Amino acid sequence: MNDKSRVFSAATKPVKEHDEGHHASGLAALTLGALGVVYGDIGTSPLYTVQEIFKPGTGIALDAAGIIGSVSAIFWALMLIVTFKYVVLILRADNRGEGGSLALTALAAMTVRHKPKLRLALLTVGVFGATLFYGDSIITPAISVLGAVEGLEVVTPALKSFVVPISLGVLLALFLIQRHGTALVGKLFGPVIGLWFATLAVIGVIHIAQEPGILVALNPLYAMHFLMDRGWQVFAALGAIVLALTGAEALYADMGHFGRKPIQLAWLGLVMPALALNYMGQGALLMHDASAIENPFFKMFPTELVMPMVVLATLAAIIASQAVISGAFSMTKQAIQLGYLPRMVVRYTSSKEAGQIYLPAVNWALLMGVVAAVIGFGSSSALAGAYGIAVTITMLITTFMTFFVVRRRWHLPAVVAWGATLFFMVIDLAFVAGCAIKFFDGGWFPLAMGVGLFVIMSTWARGRELVMESVNSDGLELKPFIADLHVEGMNRVPRTAVFAVANPKSVPQALLHNLKHNNVLHACNIVMTVVFHEVPWIHEDERIELKALGHSFWSLKVHYGFMDSPDVPHALTLCEAKGLPVSHFETSYFLSRETVVPTPGSGMADWREHLFATMNRNASGVVEFFRLPDNSVVELGTRVQI
């Protein structure tokens, strides 16, 4: 990645705080929306967490001490990690209102932009953390839907053989509807998840009333004694307890959609109390009837309510799955615009919401991964071994990145920054170690995906650097070229020519071809460079930089953030206010499509160069990505050696 093109000028005006607009839109409506999108994942954790804690491998006895201690550990894990770390601290570390792995990575990298080696290390770690999200995007739909449909076994064991086929049918339908967008069903997300959390709370209260002794789990001493008494088996216990935290990253990742306050209000006002009551309710049930460990969640309900709860749980699981699928689309778009993935087809499924996008390639890749996970693991219990390790490593990376924001951007005292970071890192490392022992039980699955994606993303970023180096080494300087150009004797075409280039200081190859083969120069020539920055949004009044170069040549820089939707024709309309009117009907776009030729040398390993060449060959066209009009584009091929 080219450092100069990625770091946005410090002179840029700060964008308007998102929360202000949120107040105008209605805090209640945004809070309801946050319920559906943000909390679906963590909200379905009660389906399988308690059952996994008492699996034989954890060494936790199914007695009063074990039940109270484990419930206390869950409660305080939710308090420390979700409430204090994410809701109180990390939600404040926004990148112009946006959150998530890549947004935080960009923010941390900007704090050390004058230290190239440290900046590169942060970008490398952050990108690896982002790749782990894709593993979560596969495991969450699989484990959530399986865990919900497994309630059928509580109705009658005879339905067990139908769990996997029904789960696959639900998931297939979910991925098939992605192309149509989620605007219609999205309106139901908040109310359905609201009903889900209300049900969790009510059934929890009912069982707590029957066994009020479980309330001592609110005392953190029970959690401490429970973990200290485990010895080396504490890691097995932590590896199961962490399942209650999966989905915590969504609080931060979805901040740009709803704002900080609605997410905080939803957590503190409903989600946290409902989860706490339900986990305590499951503990109370087990203290009363240890045989309910077969499926403590669905055993909480009377027989006649189990089937309706299977339906509600399945709907909640679908919503949780939709949230991570949409998140994968959004993360991919960010990665493309930050230069870590090749261009892909991006379809906008809503005329009102720019964030509602659909990426066919990502959708079908996720579907194949989810189907493989469901068939390969076969149950939510088996998938629990794979779940957690990617989440905990992401949590650890988030803590690490937040240190640079707290210390270098907020300028808090070193003792505060180091103290908070070390406190949460110790907890995160304990959870990572707890999940690491499940590596051969499925933990390898998301890690293998993460490593594979990291290789792809780092190869693409490095490959683009090599292409730029090759193009720049062979190119002519633009300003001297224009100064020496004898335009009087040339044929002039009464149109505007837009030459898209990566380096604004070099002469576009398409321009040279036009002059050499056609001896033609357009009446107006715009040398355009599109620059993506490590901030989510760029103000409209900062979208373009226009400079006259002489002889009817203009230099145009178009600026976008990693959350913006590139639209070059619209950007050209902004030139009129700066003295250059551009007519859509009299404009031609000249693009260069590079054919990468791997060659021996010091660029990359041979296999990486061939991988990059393949990705470059199959990347989506510039026309679709930048919304250029099809009938006004001329593409010229160029061979580039790396």
Look up the CATH number of the domain holding residue 182. 1.20.1740.10
Do both 138 and 189 map to the same domain?
Answer: yes
Q: How far apart are CA 377 and CA 150, in angstroms?
A: 14
Do both 385 and 495 map to the same domain?
Answer: no
Quick check: 634 and 576 in contact, CB under 8 A? no
Q: Which among 402, 423, 442 is the end of a domain? A: 442
User: Does 262 map to a domain?
Assistant: yes
pLDDT tens readout for residues 588-640: 999 877 788 888 777 788 899 889 989 988 887 788 888 899 888 988 777 77
List the one residue out of 384, 307, 309, 324 whose CA is nearest residue 37.
324
Q: Which among 442, 461, 492 is the end of a domain? A: 442
User: Does 455 map to a domain?
Assistant: no
Do both 505 and 419 map to the same domain?
Answer: no
User: Does 577 map to a domain?
Assistant: yes
Do both 225 and 326 map to the same domain?
Answer: yes
Give CA separation, 138 vs 164, 193, 362, 373, 497, in Å. 16, 21, 11, 8, 45
Mean confidence (pLDDT) of the chain: 86
User: Does 633 map to a domain?
Assistant: yes
- Residue 355: its pLDDT value, please? 58
Do both 400 and 498 map to the same domain?
Answer: no
Do both 505 and 417 map to the same domain?
Answer: no
User: Does 459 map to a domain?
Assistant: no
- Residue 259: its pLDDT value, please? 79
Name the residue range of residue 601's domain: 470-641
Q: What is the DSSP letter of 62?
A: S
- Residue 31: its pLDDT value, please? 84
In this prediction the pTM is 0.80
H-helix segments, 39-182:
40-43, 49-53, 64-77, 101-111, 116-149, 152-155, 163-176
Do both 138 and 232 map to the same domain?
Answer: yes
User: Does 456 map to a domain?
Assistant: no
Quick check: 469 and 628 in contact, CB under 8 A? no
Do both 545 and 436 map to the same domain?
Answer: no
Domain count, the chain: 2
Quick check: 325 and 141 in contact, CB under 8 A? yes
Place of tokens 């869950």: 74
- Residue 353: its pLDDT value, please? 56
Do both 402 and 504 map to the same domain?
Answer: no
Q: How far apart are CA 328 and CA 576, in angstroms?
A: 37
Coil/strand/helix, residue 588: strand
3-state secondary structure 232-255: HHHHHHHHHHHHHHCCCHHHHHCH
Do both 413 and 490 map to the same domain?
Answer: no
Q: How far apart are CA 302 and CA 156, in angstroms?
A: 14
Do both 512 and 615 map to the same domain?
Answer: yes
Quick check: 533 and 561 in contact, CB under 8 A? yes
Do both 126 and 275 map to the same domain?
Answer: yes
User: Does 11 map to a domain?
Assistant: no
State which residues of the chain have pLDDT below 50.
1-25
User: Does 224 map to a domain?
Assistant: yes
- Residue 556: its pLDDT value, please? 95
